[in-house]
Structure 1
Amino acid sequence: MKNIIVTGASRGIGLEMIRLFSKAGHNVLALSRNINGIESLKLPKVKAVSFDITSDEDLENISIILKDWGKVDILVNNAGAIVNKPFMELSVDDFKKVYNTNVFGVAALIQKVVPCMDATGHVVNISSMGGVVGSMKFPGLAAYSSSKGALITLTEMLAEEFKEKGPSFNVLALGAVQTEMLEEAFPGYKAPLSAFEMAEYIVEFSLTGNKYYNGKLLQVSNSTP
């Protein structure tokens, strides 16, 4: 039985992940701005907390929440923000909105959680194929894709910094998955994978992937986008 934190847990891949972790008997802390849907499911061993990773107050409170556990085995940074606009229409606030969630909030949460993790712990950051150097890029996603590229580099740096004492850090660059965020980026596009199918992969990887990988980017995509 593991103690697992999942952000962005109220919909899509995040919601499917907490279902799967719960079904497997793990303790899950589900963090999301909106937790009504999670609480209505009444999933065993799932504690839902209204949480904004860009909020200094919420980040301070996470230390209090984690006292009951003492140890965190897995952190899945799944929360994400997207703005779909032509580059010339993007404002500084647009960039800040995306980077605050996709990069700065992730880094801040990791700083709070890592003291509760040991060498066996695993931090899994969820990025995108749009952030992978050399992958196909799409207009309108300059803020989103560049932030996901920053998250990939951050993951590699953290793995290096913590390689002696852990935890392990890996990043998954996801391709197209049928979620609300995909609809925002590519209206009308039908993805080859459902949120449940991708959640199955991420859950298994988070539980076992650190046996084989550390500081690695894995491209999880069978389509373009």
Structure 2
Amino acid sequence: MKNIVIIGGSKGIGNAILLQQLENNLVVNISRNAPEITHPNLTHFSLNVLEDVLPEIENVDTLIYCPGSINLKPIASLSIDDFKNDFEINVIGAVKAIQKYLPVLRKGTDPSIVLFSTVAAKLGMPFHASIATAKAGVEGLVKSLGAELASVVRINAIAPTITETTLAAGILRNDRMKENMVERHPMKGYLKPEEVASMANFLISEHAKSISGQVFEMDYGIVTFKI
């Protein structure tokens, strides 16, 4: 039974990971809102990761940082604060969590970290300047820490395409937009949170013990294929 800390596990992909892990592991969730579930294996701390002091946790084998943003605007409409806010949510929050829990992670069993990027960090997409810049920072963090912690803690990232979550509700707000999104992807689909959670589950498992410093695109072919 692992001790898993999920930051941002009340909604979306983080919640899907939480639900898949609860039966077999001890899960600590840290987010502003509590998950809509109670379970003997679940402990929740309500706080703002960027502003509040993170709780002391005695045992941590896995850290998963899920908070993100979808801030899509033309470059002329993006303020400096937009860039700062996206960078803080996606990068600074992850750094804060890693620095807090790295001492206990080092003592964990097969310790690992999972962060989240986006396909927009590799595929040039209009109106993604702020979020793509922030997520590129996440990917750089994964590569650097993968090397720095190579003999101690594994760290990887998942870069999903659009995923059906509340965060993406504005992009998938009606059937026509959903159909258009399906057609944009060569494999004719887009992600469900459970699909991404399954990749996270693999990356924190013993089956991935040889993998670190990698960014895994879950893209339904939109980055990989030109058809």
Q: Match of 2:9, as an amino acid?
A: A
Alpha-carbon distance in 2 for matches of 1:151, 1:45: 29
Q: Which residue of 2 aligns with 1:205?
A: 203
Contact preservation (8 Å) 1:8, 1:79: yes
Alignment match, 1:169:
155
What code does the residue aligned with 1:124 have? V
Q: 1:1-225 counterparts in 2 under 5 A?
A: 1-23=1-23, 25-35=24-34, 38=35, 40-55=36-51, 57-59=52-54, 62=55, 64=56, 66=57, 70-118=58-106, 120-132=110-122, 135=123, 137-164=124-151, 166-185=152-171, 188-189=177-178, 190=181, 191-208=189-206, 210-224=208-222
> Cα distance, 1:186 vs. partner?
6.0
Same amino acid, percent of matched pairs: 25
C-alpha displacement at 1:220, in angstroms?
1.9
> 1:72-129: per-residue Cα shift (whole Å, max 9, x none)?
1111111112312111111111111111110111111100011001272001111111
Deviation at 1:199?
1.4
Greater share of residues in helix: 1
TM-score by length of structure 1 reads 0.85
Unaligned 5+ residue runs, structure 2? 182-188
Unaligned runs of 5+ in 1: none
State the shift of 1:53 in Å: 2.0
Amino acid at match of 1:144: I
Aligned-residue offset at 1:202: 1.6
Specify the SS of the correspondent of 1:58.
coil
Q: How well do the aligned residues superpose, as a CA RMSD in angstroms?
A: 1.9
Q: Distance in 2 between matches of 1:148 and 1:33?
A: 22
Could you state the TM-score of these two structures normalised by the residue count of structure 2?
0.85
How far apart are 1:197 and its partner, in Å?
2.4
Partner residue, 2:185: none
Provide the secondary structure at the position in 1 that maps to 2:44.
Answer: strand
